[in-house]
Structure 1
Amino acid sequence: MRTFEDSYRHKGLRRQLVDIIRKKGITDERVLEAILHTPRHFFMDSAFDKIAYEDRAFPIGEGQTISQPYTVAYQSQLLEVKPFDKVLEIGTGSVYQACVLAEMKAQVYTIERQKKLFDSNKQFPYPKKYPALKFFYGDGYEGLPTFAPFDKVIVTAAAPFIPPKLVEQLKPGGLMVIPVGEGQVQRMLRLTRQADGSATTELFDNFSFVPMVEGKNN
């Protein structure tokens, strides 16, 4: 059960959340503004209403989580989103990350492999406010070749390796932000695709994500 009332209390809690993630080192004002204007409690069961603005992840079913707001801000900042960027997101999950990117005026193509989550997200009214946010049911390792190339790719699950098809679907100069590693902790990487098809890699902080699984789950 979800509620869709955005009260003064919720807005005040969001301002406090933005202050917390700013103190943790997020400096991109467009990212902070998008988090300020995205009601995170809409994406969670109403039972979580009182704690929706704590800076931590919460379960959303199907073994998935709604990411910690700091993690969402961190990945969004690394992505260097510009208005009208065409962004491929691997792992729709709760749709919170996708809506933050859409709030930053990106055109978001998001893939979910869990059929129940995909169906539930299609019925969720809030994302309909973003006509440039498009949902797909599929295997994240395959990407969306029909809609490629993309300016940016963001992966919101722990990949054991960098999926080559996702690199191929980036424009030259395009960026991919992806947590890579097996086990409890992954390293956040940012890849830049070069004109010859290769990619350069930058290393960032450690995070903990649910695993990126191949195939689709009916």
Structure 2
Amino acid sequence: MIDAERKMQFLFALRSKGVTDARVLGAMEKIDRGAFVKGLFAERAYEDMPLPISCGQTISQPSVVGLMTQALNVSPRDKVLEVGTGSGYQAAVLSQLARRVYTVERHRRLIQDAMEIFTALDLTNVTAITADGSRGLPEQAPFDRILVTAAAEDPPGPLMAQLREGGVMVVPVGQSDTIQTLIKVTKTPDGFDYEEMRPVRFVPLLEGLGKE
């Protein structure tokens, strides 16, 4: 378990990076990032840095998780789709804010690991599915909120189509691994509004399923 002093430092670091929404901070205080970081890097779970996980993926740095969650502006009645489960940490944070979270990941092994943690934490409103995230989850659409934790060259059309009117999608967009921008997309009656938020670095959004 995380001790009180580490938790205070963790939350202070989040606030200093611009995560100020009380509900988001409360969710991130409740969900122990240490549960999602294994092996050599477990000691660094409460530092504000991305860390490697299985299948060549990463767990995002906490301040980026906080800022993306804050931008999503999730309400307690929302149905949320997360594309790119990874460690499961982001989905667990969203589970504290939304009515229902669907999270999809192309690597079966990551889904299995994440589901074990969700069960251990008694997170009953998260459904984790092995699927091609670039296609979204049409059978559960439309969604009130969509969060993409891998970078696309453009906001993906299939995901935008699965957004409810008035819904919000937060997605990293960029042509390369080095230059990406976090974009907030809002679906309006007339189309889509785009807001550029900040530079970020994410693994690329890939089509198809992974090998493990």
| TM bin (shorter chain) | over 0.9
- With normalisation by structure 2, the TM-score equals 0.94
- Where 1:215 maps in the other structure, the secondary structure is coil
How far the C-alpha of 1:162 sits from its partner, in A, is 1.2
Q: 1:97 aligns with which of 67, 90, 105?
A: 90
Q: Comparing 113-122 with 135-144, which one deviates more in the overlay?
A: 113-122
How far the C-alpha of 1:116 sits from its partner, in A, is 1.7
CA spacing shift, 1:67–1:79, aligned 2, 3 Å = same
Aligned to 1:33: 26
Q: Which runs of 5+ in 1 are unaligned?
A: 1-5
Structure 1, residues 30-58: CA drift from partner, whole Å, max 9, x if none? 11111111111110114323221000000
Distance 2:185 2:86 in 1: 23
> 1:143 is matched by which residue type in structure 2?
G
Q: Which runs of 5+ in 2 are unaligned?
A: none
How far the C-alpha of 1:143 sits from its partner, in A, is 0.5
Aligned to 2:187: 193
Q: 2:81 aligns with which of 68, 84, 88?
A: 88
Aligned to 1:3: none
- Where 1:108 maps in the other structure, the secondary structure is strand
> 2:148 is matched by which residue type in structure 1?
V
Residues 1:146 and 2:139 are matched in the alignment: yes
Q: Is the Cα contact below 8 Å between 1:185 and 1:209 reproduced in 2? A: no
Aligned length: 210
Q: Is the Cα contact below 8 Å between 2:143 and 2:162 reproduced in 1? A: yes
Q: Is the Cα contact below 8 Å between 1:127 and 1:133 reproduced in 2? A: no
Identity, in percent, stands at 40
Structure 1, residues 50-72: CA drift from partner, whole Å, max 9, x if none? 22100000000211001100000
Aligned to 2:156: 163
- Where 2:184 maps in the other structure, the secondary structure is strand
> 2:188 is matched by which residue type in structure 1?
Q
Distance 2:115 2:25 in 1: 26
- With normalisation by structure 1, the TM-score equals 0.91
Residues 1:110 and 2:93 are matched in the alignment: no
Q: Is the Cα contact below 8 Å between 1:189 and 1:203 reproduced in 2? A: yes
- Where 2:135 maps in the other structure, the secondary structure is coil
